[in-house]
Amino acid sequence: MLFIFTLFLAIATISAQDNWEVLFDGKDLKNFEQLNGSAKYEIKNNELIGTSKLGTPNSFMATTEKYGDFILEFEVFLENGLNSGVQFRSISTPSIMNGRVHGYQCEIETSSRKWSGGIYDEARNGWLYPLTRNTKGQNAFVPGEWNHYRIEAIGSKIRTWVNTIQCANLLDATTAEGFIAFQVHSIHNENLEGKTVRWRNINIQTVDLEKSMKTVNVDVPEISYLDNQLTDNEVRTGWRFLWDGKSTAGWRGAKMDDFPDNGWEIKDGMLTVLSSEGTESANGGDIVTTDLFADFELSVDFKITEGANSGIKYFVDSELNKGEGSAIGLEFQVLDDQKHPDAKMGKNGNRTVGSLYDLIRAENTNNSRGKNFKGVGKWNNARIVVKDGHVEHWLNQVKVVEFDRFSQMFKALVEKSKYEKWENFGRLSQGLILLQDHGDEVSFKNIKVREF
């Protein structure tokens, strides 16, 4: 008995030293309120249990208190077939979407894509950190068992661990404070009605957080949404801005020595090609880098207007096609698939957003739904990786195109395309990077690159 008392005292002392607080005591929900949907929540055996229900939207059991910087730990058991998550720094106000809960969510799921531990931005920006680039993290969650989660949200740094394996390594500053909420996702299949998600041992730390932060796994990719700033890790790993966010330095017109006098606007950290009623390269024209690139990783945020068409080209030779129209190079298509007719032209969708224009159709290669395009009027990310002939297109952190530009298959694609007449198309040892003026308003920001 003395041993048990001593052990209990030691654990209590450690907890006090670590500044952990109980967020859910396993007895009542007096510090919580249910938002949005009407799924059932109850307490049994010191567990918070949510039960899925047909005909109701996502349900959230939310803290009445708001939290900014914190470390949260909990255990969760999710029945097969369900989707769930834990909201944090989230908001629900009548003036925004009639009170719909929105904000960061740490994913809990049993689907084959295996994104548990990833970060989703509920009812706002969609997937911020899917686990498409973290294979080890994809396998951290164990279906049919209790899983331990840890969420660290400190400043703009948002990191997650599932069963001690790091899953997300995100930097985002959209929301600094909000409630924490436990989600029962809406269902549309009657076979899922009555299934449960259970949480227990829910504890939070809000002081002296720097001392408690876990060491970041260098193999877990960092994804940053910070505007016009490089993280320490990006600087250390060779990233630099290709556009400084305020001037024309490092860029010129594709068919001129200087930057265009008109047709492009620099404002509020954005570089915008202005509309000229859809006429290709008839206003300011395409712009290209003054530097040449061989093996590289390029990241560009873009926002299209309704019906817009543009593109991000690479391995561009600005000496080709000195006449009308755009300069020649491999192209990451930027397009409104729903409203621009180009989406239905070409072959089998090879002119849709994210595609290798006119050659390879963009499609989700990560066992998920759709291409992960966030929509017209929202910021989307294009990522292009080129190394030793291997090329990848990523749309919002989901790979949509992959090819070898020196392969026989690529050569055959070119021979059947409009690029056939351009000798050595796509196979240059190095080339320029281009932002296209296709006559529609499109904005770009956070243009950054690193070379291999």
> In order of start, what are the domains of the chain with their CATH numbers?
17-224 (2.60.120.560), 241-451 (2.60.120.560)
Please say if the pLDDT value at position 368 is more than 50: yes
Rg of the chain over all Cα atoms, to the nearest angstrom: 25
Judge whether 146 and 130 are in contact, CB under 8 Å: no
pLDDT band of residue 56 (cuts 50, 70, 90) is very high
Alpha helices, DSSP H, located in 66-129? none
Mean pLDDT for 13-34 is 84
pLDDT band at 367, cuts 50/70/90? low
The pair of structure tokens assigned to 282 is 């008839």
Q: What share of the chain is helix, strand, coil (3-state, %, to 5)?
A: 10, 40, 50
Beta-carbon contacts of 24 under 8 Å, excluding residues fewer than 6 positions away, are 32, 48, 199, 202
Q: Is 410 left (phi over 0), alpha (psi -120 to 50) or beta?
A: alpha
Task: Give percent of the chain with pLDDT exceeding 70.
Answer: 94
pLDDT of 169 over the 50 cut: yes
Strand partners, 90: 179
pLDDT confidence tier of residue 1, bands split at 50, 70 and 90: very low
Query: Is residue 112 exposed (0-12), middle (13-18) or buried (19+ Cβ within 10 Å)?
Result: exposed
Q: In the predicted model, what is the mean pLDDT of residues 323-327?
A: 80
User: Which pLDDT tens digit goes with each residue over 73-127?
Assistant: 999 999 999 999 999 999 999 999 999 999 999 999 999 999 999 999 999 999 9
Work out the number of other CB atoms within 10 angstroms of the CB of residue 229. Answer: 13
Phi, psi of 8 (to 5 degrees): -60, -45
**pLDDT at residue 281, as a whole number:** 62
34-48, 153-167, 198-212, 355-369: range with lowest mean pLDDT: 355-369
Reported confidence tier of residue 326, pLDDT bands at 50, 70, 90? confident
Query: Has residue 72 got a pLDDT over 60?
Result: yes
Q: Which of 11-20, 283-292, 363-372 has the highest mean pLDDT?
A: 283-292
Model confidence over 391-410: pLDDT tens digits? 999 999 999 999 999 999 99
Residue 282 confidence (pLDDT): 66
Percent of the chain with pLDDT over 90: 90
